[in-house]
Structure formats: structure tokens, C-alpha cells
Amino acid sequence: MLGSRVAGFARGLRSVALASVPGWRGRSFALARATGAPHGGDLQPSACPGPRGRQLSLSAAAVVNSAPRPLQPYLRLMRLDKPIGTWLLYLPCTWSIGLAAEPGCFPDWYMLSLFGTGAILMRGAGCTINDMWDQDYDKKVTRTASRPIAAGDISTFQSFVFLGGQLTLALGVLLCLNYYSIALGAGSLLLVTTYPLMKRITYWPQLALGLTFNWGALLGWSAIKGSCDPSVCLPLYFSGVMWTLIYDTIYAHQDKRDDVLIGLKSTALRFGENTKLWLSGFSVAMLGALSLVGVNSGQTAPYYAALGAVGAHLTHQGCPGWSAMMQSQLTATSNSWAEVILPPQHPG
């Protein structure tokens, strides 16, 4: 259920990306809505029957399952079977590439393709680094125990070699950009390497994830324009960070019980029963920053109409039904938290 909220929110933000492209101004937003990510981040299966009576499926998980068996652990390590994370990394790139396009022109399709390839590779590299750091923790959590390194399907050395291959290919993509963008892209490696460690030392690992995942909001603009325009790129980057804090805090609520047991931290634990209030603040900040982006980049009515649709979606997420869902989760795990955090009670 939480996954569907995240995917739904990604669909809303994608409409902003399309509306910011000058060539799309004045067109129907039904077309923008039609490009939304499928539920849960996976492509929907086809209903066409296979030669042996089985249904053929084009979902990402089915594609990975149909790959040669020796390759499957590596494809799962880079999360090719769960592409929603790749979309979340790619969308900020498309925002800035679209905003940097000349008025009346479509965004640069070559750059969109380059950044799409880079998003797949860097998301895979980030997941590999994360699983290398977290393999001992992953073994203790039901949801992550089947990850290839934790399950023993891939050794640490093999994952390290695989990481080197992904980073080498990503470097090839980066070298296709201008020198400013090459230096800017290289600057993100420190974030990519260290953000998986943040949940060990701070209750704000989602902030570190936001700083990492939204780097493309800076890089996409510089790839088109040759450098960053702070008046556009910084509020766009900030809005992306706020967006990440929203969706990843929601996502973190499903792991909070295990996180308490094994000593990891998250904004879900930090906010607790005040989660809705915090997320409302992040939503207001995100919408304000996106409004500033529109003003500074000279956007017109379609951009602000799409921004209004995003605001409506955020309001819907904060409706009583969502609040009740969050409250039920908080109540369901409160006893287990008390067992871990509070000392035993003795009579008298």
C-alpha cells in the first residue's frame, strides 16, 4: 500500500516535468497523466498467452526471471526487477533538461537517453554499494534477507567487481557531457558512497538519500546550458530533496520495527506520531520551491496548472484515510517499540 502511494506521487511529479517543457505548453494534461509510472514501479504484464498456455509478461521482474540464471542475482543486485527507484533517480534529471530547453522546443532527446542510461547504471551502483555495506543487517530483516549478497548468491568480491563494471560504464556516459558537468557529476560520488551509512549515525538518512537522488536536477541543466543557474537549479534541487523526504519517510515506516531491533535510524522513527505534520511541512516547502523555479525560469500557465495538480495530490495523501492508515501502523508497532526501548517494569 505504501509502495502505491510512492508510485502515485511519482506520477504527479512527472506531470510537472512534462508541463515545464516548452513544447508541451497548452497541450492536454491527459497526455501527461498517461505517461505515469505503473503501480509499484513495475510494468504491467501482458495478457497474451505463450506457446505453452502460459501468459507472457513484460514486467521488470518477469524480464529478470527470464534472463540466464547466472545473471539473475546481478540483475537483482542492481534492482532491475524494481525499476521505481530508477524512475525516482531519473525524474529530477528530466525536470532540469526540460526546463533548460529553448522556448517552443522539445527537450534534448539525446540527453534524455544519456541520463536514462546513467540513471540505470548509477541506481544499480548505489544499490550494490548499499547491499555491500548492509549485508549483515539485511540478513536480519525479512524484507531484505533474500537480497543476493545477504542470501549468499553473490560474494563480496564478485559484487565489488560488478560495482567496478557499473561505475566504468557510468563514467563513459558522464564523459559524453561538457567539462563542467563531468566535474559536477564526479562530485556526486561521495554522496553515492556514503549515503547508505547514514542510517547508522543519524535519524535523517532520508535527507542524505535526497541529496544523492536529486543531483540530476543540477546536472541536467548544466549538461544543456554549460553551467548551473543557481536561481533555477538550487530551488529545483531543494524541491527534489523535499520530495524524497516525503516518499522515503512513508517507505521507511514499513521497516521501523526491524530498524529499532537492529539499531538503525530513520525519519520514520524520528517523526513517530508527528509524521503527518512533518510531511505536510515538506510538501509546502516543495511546492514553494517549485513555484520559485517557475518564476525564475519564465514558465507559463501549464506549469502552474500541473503544480496545482501536484498540490492536490499531496492534499489527497494527507486526507483522513491516509492519516488513519499511518495511525494504524504506528499503533501496531508501538508495543514492540516499547519492548525494545523501555526497561522492564517491576511491581512496586
| pLDDT tens string 264-274 | 999 999 999 99
In this predicted structure, which of 15-19, 85-89, 99-103 has the lowest mean pLDDT? 15-19
253 versus 104: the higher-pLDDT residue is: 253
Rounded to whole angstroms, the Cα distance separating 95 from 91 reads 6
Rounded to whole angstroms, the Cα distance separating 218 from 76 reads 29
**C-alpha to C-alpha distances, 212 to 3, 27, 121, nearest whole angstrom:** 21, 33, 14
For residues 65 and 40, the answer to whether their CB atoms sit within 8 Å is no
Rounded to whole angstroms, the Cα distance separating 32 from 138 reads 38
Q: What is the pLDDT of residue 55?
A: 57
Q: What is the pLDDT of residues 61-70, one digit of tens each?
A: 899 999 999 9
CB atoms closer than 10 angstroms to residue 1: 9
For residues 275 and 268, the answer to whether their CB atoms sit within 8 Å is yes
AA identity, residue 77: L
Cell of 38: 505503473
User: Percent helix, strand, coil in the chain (nearest 5)?
Assistant: 75, 0, 25
313 versus 324: the higher-pLDDT residue is: 313
Rounded to whole angstroms, the Cα distance separating 255 from 179 reads 41
Give me the phi and psi of 55, to 5 degrees please.
-80, 130
Give me the long-range contacts of 264-272 (CB less than 8 A, separation at least 24).
264/137, 264/199, 264/200, 265/199, 265/200, 265/201, 265/202, 265/203, 265/205, 266/199, 266/203, 266/205, 266/206, 267/203, 267/204, 267/205, 267/206, 267/207, 269/203, 270/203, 270/204, 272/330
The reply to whether the predicted model has a pTM over 0.85 is no
Q: What is the pLDDT of residues 189-208, one digit of tens each?
A: 999 999 989 999 999 999 99
227 pLDDT band, cuts 50/70/90, is: very high
Rounded to whole angstroms, the Cα distance separating 133 from 92 reads 26
pLDDT at residue 325 above 70?
no
Rounded to whole angstroms, the Cα distance separating 228 from 211 reads 16
Rounded to whole angstroms, the Cα distance separating 100 from 221 reads 6
Q: What is the pLDDT of residue 258?
A: 87
Q: What is the pLDDT of residue 104?
A: 82
**Buried residues in 232-261 as b, exposed as e (16+ CB within 10 A):** bbbbbbbbbbbbbbbbbbbbbbebbbbbbe
Rounded to whole angstroms, the Cα distance separating 307 from 239 reads 12
pLDDT at residue 72 above 60?
yes
105 pLDDT band, cuts 50/70/90, is: confident
Q: What is the pLDDT of residue 44?
A: 42
pLDDT at residue 283 above 80?
yes
pLDDT at residue 50 above 50?
no
Q: What is the pLDDT of residues 155-192, one digit of tens each?
A: 999 999 999 999 999 999 999 999 999 999 999 999 99
AA identity, residue 197: L
- Phi-psi region at 190: left, alpha or beta (left = phi > 0; alpha = psi -120 to 50): alpha
141 pLDDT band, cuts 50/70/90, is: confident
Rounded to whole angstroms, the Cα distance separating 307 from 20 reads 10
Q: Write out the H or E segment, with its range, that includes residue 113.
A: helix 109-138
Q: What is the pLDDT of residue 56?
A: 57
Cell of 69: 540464471
